[in-house]
Amino acid sequence: STGPGEVTRNDFPEDFFFGVATSAYQVEGGRAEGRRGDNIWDVFSETEGTIVIANGDIAVDQYHRYKEDVDLISKLGFNAYRFSLSWSRIFPDGLGTKVNEDGISYYNNLINALLDKGIQPFVTLYHWDLPYNLQTSIEGWLTKKIGVFFHLCRNLFRKLWRQSETLVTINEPLQTAVNGYDIGIFAPGRKDNPSTEPYLAAHHQLLAHASAVDVYRKKFKAKQGGEIGLVVDCEWAEPFSDRIEDKSAAERRIDFQLGWYCYKHFFLLFFYQLFPFVKVFGPNILWDYPKTMRARLGSNLPQFSDREKELLHRSLDFVGLNHYTSRLIAHMPSTSDQFYQVQEIEGIVNWPGGEAIGPRAASDWLYVVPWGLRKVLNYIAKKYENPMIYVTENGMDDEDSKVSALEQALDDKMRVDYFKGYLASVAQAISDGVDVRGYFAWSLLDNFEWAQGYTKRFGLVYVDYKNGLSRHPKASALWFSKFFKGAQ
Ligand code: GBH
């Protein structure tokens, strides 16, 4: 087997995508420019008492430096860039009726700059920066009316789709549901109704996703080709022990991350569509929430109509997976209706003997466990009939306060080992038969790390916040360049 350090470019198919990823609010800045409307993070980061100690008003200024950043991506040798569109830059009031041409042209320019360099754009429509007006006027993701998302997508497809071939509707609906509506550490910062709101927010994200995919399929795909999917985040859940309770706790943990947003029985549905009369007598195989969730949440988990289930059922051309870390999971009786308690699980970072599951990065949730990625990839392949998968995010952070000199920041040995280990794990999954088509390192640049502000640095490229936001490739960025040239 391939151990860390032995992974090479030849372990991946020739047409494999190797990219870097970012999101609009984390890198763009230009808050007051180009007639961009406010979003919920603009307001959340100004609210006293949130743990955010900074904001994305300027961020790392990609709005003005996109050409420099595209050159950088190209020089390093990546062939794909995953970024997101700021919804309120294109529709300042979020409603999808009045298009702001300044926003459209910014993204057209970015996409053209990428295509000029032969870099494939992977466009995410929504990475957490909901137009503020949609939060105040219709309660954001809590109501079905958020289906105005539909209009957003329709217009975007018309204006931008032609130039980009891979589209993600929503980034990590789980994080919006849980951090936005259960513990409230992310915008919109709600935490008073943890037994209902996370499930409504998730439900409406799924419906918005499904209707966006439906429009895209009917109006654009036939003419323009391309592919569309959802990005889910999933840590690997390794049973803490061989006890049956711990094994099913670990299964449950994955249901509450992945199963919440993915479908099963794709081929059976196809068969039902060919022979509709069979469906009347056959088992109900339409998409639905996992049984483990229904059992614990009952009527707090909303219901789908059959039509919605069918839409969702065929809504993924690919699964986008964000994966950073793994955790040991043990059974723990439920103590409250909060998200983690409801699952009846406990996440543990030390093996029974006391040894850590892996070295810790800067963030307290991020342990380096390369073998976990191979396991998640195999799990998805097995459970969901071997779908096409992109690893849409993978990476680790350094603590800003521990960086005292530039040379030290650029010498990121631990990150080099992280990427070696995780890429080897992807290569192993591919030889296991998993259909992985691309891999994106998070992130191109150090950037605004949500509730952690600028205190955590995930970049392959260092951003000097005290020196004009200048960009400096770290050893890990240079490692990728050598990896692409086959000179390891
Ligand atoms: C990704 O989510 C996001 O898509 C990306 O925007 C982000 O920059 C990246 O992670 C790195 O965090 O209590 O404040 O420490 C991955 C799932 C969700 C994992 C939030 C960490 C804890 C936040 N992440 N979670 S905090």
Read off the pLDDT of residues 372-389 as tens digits, 9 standing for 90 and up.
Answer: 999 999 999 999 889 999
- Name, in order, each residue with C-beta under 8 angstroms of 405's C-beta and a sequence gap of 6 or more: none
pLDDT band per the 50, 70, 90 thresholds, residue 225: confident
- Closest atom of ligand 1 to 451 CA is 14
pLDDT beyond 90 at 153 = no
Predicted pLDDT of residue 109: 95
The reported pLDDT for the residue numbered 428 is 98
pLDDT confidence tier of residue 49, bands split at 50, 70 and 90: confident
CA nearest 210: which of 104, 156, 265, 287?
A: 287
| Closest to 478 measured CA to CA, from 69, 81, 77, 9 | 77
Contacts of 376 (CB under 8 A, 6+ apart): 234, 235, 236, 321, 323
Q: Which of 44-53, 73-82, 332-341 is predicted least confidently?
A: 44-53
Q: What is the pLDDT of residue 277?
A: 67
Instruction: Encode 306-320: b = buried (16+ Cβ within 10 Å), e = exposed.
Output: eebbbbbbbbbbbbb
The pLDDT value recorded for residue 236 is 98
Structure-block tokens of residue 116: 């000029």
- Residue 217 has what pLDDT? 86
As annotated, the active-site residues are: 172, 393
CB atoms under 10 Å from CB of 154, counted, come to 17
pLDDT tens digit sequence for 269-311: 666 667 766 666 655 666 789 999 999 999 999 999 988 988 8
Taking Cα atoms as reference points, which of 222, 223, 247 lies closest to residue 237? Answer: 247
> Cα separation of 286 and 419, whole Å?
38
Pocket test for ligand 1, best of 84, 363, 418 (most atoms within 8 A of CB): 363
Q: pLDDT tier at 1 (50, 70, 90 boundaries)?
A: very low
ipTM surpassing 0.85, yes or no?
yes
pLDDT of residue 221: 80
State residue 272's pLDDT score. 65
pLDDT band of 223, cuts 50, 70, 90 = confident
User: What's the gap in Å between 79 CA and the centre of ligand 1?
Assistant: 25
Q: Which atom of ligand 1 is nearest to the CA of 171?
A: 4
Q: Which residues line ligand 1 (CB under 6 A)?
A: 23, 26, 171-172, 175, 179, 185, 233, 322, 324, 363, 365, 393, 442, 449-452, 458
Q: Which of 236, 258, 324, 366 to mutate to test ligand 1, by most ligand atoms within 8 A of the CB atom?
A: 324
pLDDT of 2: 41
pLDDT in tens, 189-218: 999 999 999 999 999 999 999 999 998 888
Q: At which residue do the structure tokens 């919109």 appear?
A: 188
Instruction: Please give the pLDDT value at position 271.
Output: 67
Q: Calculate mean pLDDT across residues 471-480.
A: 98
How many alpha carbons fall within 13 Å on the CB side of residue 308?
15
pLDDT, residue 302, reads 97
Q: Does pLDDT of 15 surpass 90? A: yes
Task: Give the tens place of pLDDT for each residue, 441-460.
Answer: 999 999 999 999 999 999 99
Look over the chain and give the mean of its residue pLDDT values, rounded to a whole number: 92
The 3-class secondary structure across 71-86, one letter per residue, is HHHHHHCCCEEEEECC
Average pLDDT over residues 92-120: 94
The per-residue pLDDT for 155 is 80
| Residue appearing with tokens 């920066």 | 129
